[in-house]
Amino acid sequence: MKRRKIEMRNAELGMRNVESLPKTMTAAILGKQLLRAGTSVGANYRAACRARSTAEFIAKMGIVEEEADESIYWMELLLEAGIPTRDKIGPLKCEAEELLAITVSSIKTARKGVR
């Protein structure tokens, strides 16, 4: 997949649906956490693409992996709290899981010495 397309998918992860959450304290706190983790995915992916070595790329992609997984965690908490409907958060969660899988695959490939 082209770098720019993955970069855009990562950047959008933290921004989609957060504004549409209800104006409750729980939704606000979980939404802010999701926004932080999700936008961090995009920022760290961009940094990984500018890595000066394979080791640096792997390290930065490790951060992308952590933040993508954390984004999924916040979505799961939102679902458990019954805040968004499954049809709203479900596609976003699927997108996060796909991006996490792409990230893990990229790390594995880089560890084999191919970037």
pLDDT per position as a tens digit, 32-84: 999 899 889 888 999 999 999 999 999 999 999 999 999 999 999 999 998 87
Is the whole-model pTM more than 0.95? Answer: no
| Domain harbouring 33, CATH code | 1.20.1440.60
- Residues 51 and 60: beta-carbon distance below 8 Å: yes
Q: How many domains does the chain have?
A: 1
Range of the structural domain that residue 100 is part of: 3-111
**Does pLDDT of 6 surpass 80?**
no
Phi, psi of 22 (to 5 degrees): -65, 160
Q: What is the mean pLDDT of the chain?
A: 86
- In the numeric block, the tokens 């992916």 are attached to 45
What value does the mean pLDDT take over residues 81-97? 82
Over pLDDT 90: what percentage of the chain? 50
**pLDDT confidence band for 22 (50 / 70 / 90):** confident
